[in-house]
Amino acid sequence: MSENTHISDLAGHIGEAVAVHGWLHNKRSSGKIIFLIVRDGTGLVQAVVSQGEVAPEVWARLEGLSYESSLRVCGTVRADPRAPGGCELTVSDVEVIGPSAEDYPIQLKEHGVEFLLEHRHLWLRTLRQVAIMRVRDEVVKAIRDFFYERGFVNIDTPILTGAIGESAGTLFSTEYFDLGTAYLAQTGQLYNEALAAALGRVYCFGPTFRAEKSKTRRHLTEFWMVEPEVAWCDSECNMRLQEDLVCYVVARALERCRSELVESLERDISRLECVVPPFPRVAYDEAVAKLQSLGSSIQWGDDLGADDETLVAAESDRPVFVYNYPKRAKAFYMKENPDDPRTVLCDDLIAPEGYGELIGGSQREDDYDRLLARIREERLPEEAYGWYLDLRRYGTFPHSGFGLGLERTVAWICGVHHIRETIAFPRTLKRIYP
């Protein structure tokens, strides 16, 4: 492969001859000049071809060139303050590496979302999708840096599991040799708890799976979750960690993805600039009373619905904690609230602007008998939890953790309505292609 200069680096090569490799994003011509807009994933550049300055066969090649053909463009970099990136290419040669068929399905016009999802492998090439993938990458890096800087150890928990992590209702299962049924992980949390007793502060970050029947803009069947687990940390300490993480990630996106957010995604970043501690904290009881006064049909004991979440955070300029939910609305592993045993020591962090729950977290039940009772109440298969109960038999310890949904966080930061755009190949109730 010959030398390649990335479009984002062209400004450092003014006056030099370079070769750029990319795809034809757009084209227009005016008489004896053809303007090619080339994209390579790092940016766009206008390549200016003058008929008099290229060989006749090159000119002929360009006249019929279709969108998304892949190209090698040779030329000299010229400073142009009006051009995106501050420069253009004066072309000496163009080689067509892979011509694109005439029927490239994604045009510059608006398409329906089902059509776009059917062509997700090509839709990803558009500037908006490229910007979202770059923000996602930055968010992932920020999350890893946050935990690394604080001394957490990253652990990869299993994806094939024997114990139900969250709720039996949303499991993907598969036959596992002679050992019966295995499940795709809904969470890495239970394994994280074992590791917290080994290493103190740990986190896992990977894909999780839920056979969600809900067709909402906040649900995927495969999504990525970062889950820290911290020994000697109570529910209050857990909420502070969540607040710090979210503020760190938002600040990083604002610092390093400003052009993606502002130019490509037209995000109102003033809404992100006010994401600083402290986040409001509303007890579940209070939240229910307030929601009822606003017309919600929620009853004490119910989990918050999507509309309730939107309402709870509607007046806030930053995410809102709702804490200490009723036991019956939450998972079996949450610690009973000593001040009100009908509730558990947990929190959901709800984003403003209608993006819903970003985080679910809790202090874990560290009492052997209470945990066993909860496993039985929920009719979970006790034999699968022997190892999990052992953590309470051999040196139990107060500990807490949470799970932050990557796609919901990226959707909120990008201001993207539906989380399906925040993962390369979304998996939903009705879609496994492409």
**Footprint on this chain of ligand NSS (rule: CB under 6 A):** 166, 187, 189, 210, 212, 219-220, 223, 225, 227, 357-362, 401-403, 405, 407-408
Q: How far is the CB of 411 from ligand NSS (least distance, A)?
A: 9
**CA-CA distances (angstroms) from residue 243 to 210, 248, 318?**
26, 9, 10
φ/ψ (deg, to 5) at 272: -90, -30
Q: How far is the CB of 360 from ligand NSS (least distance, A)?
A: 2
Nearer to ligand NSS, 166 or 243 (CB): 166
Q: How far is the CB of 245 from ligand NSS (least distance, A)?
A: 13
DSSP H/E element including 90: strand 87-98
Closest C-alpha among 70, 24, 82, 73 to residue 49: 73
Nearer to ligand NSS, 75 or 403 (CB): 403
Angular region, 285: left φ>0, alpha ψ -120 to 50, beta rest? alpha
Q: How far is the CB of 347 from ligand NSS (least distance, A)?
A: 10
Q: How far is the CB of 193 from ligand NSS (least distance, A)?
A: 9
**Residue reference for tokens 């590496």:** 97
Nearer to ligand NSS, 85 or 207 (CB): 207
φ/ψ (deg, to 5) at 365: -65, 120
CA 152 vs. chain centroid, Å, equals 21
Return d(Cα 258, Cα 324) in angstroms, integer: 36
Q: How far is the CB of 185 from ligand NSS (least distance, A)?
A: 10
Nearer to ligand NSS, 184 or 359 (CB): 359
Nearer to ligand NSS, 352 or 403 (CB): 403
Return d(Cα 333, Cα 355) in angstroms, integer: 26
Cβ-based burial of 174 (10 A; exposed 0-12, middle 13-18, buried ≥19): exposed
Nearer to ligand NSS, 22 or 360 (CB): 360
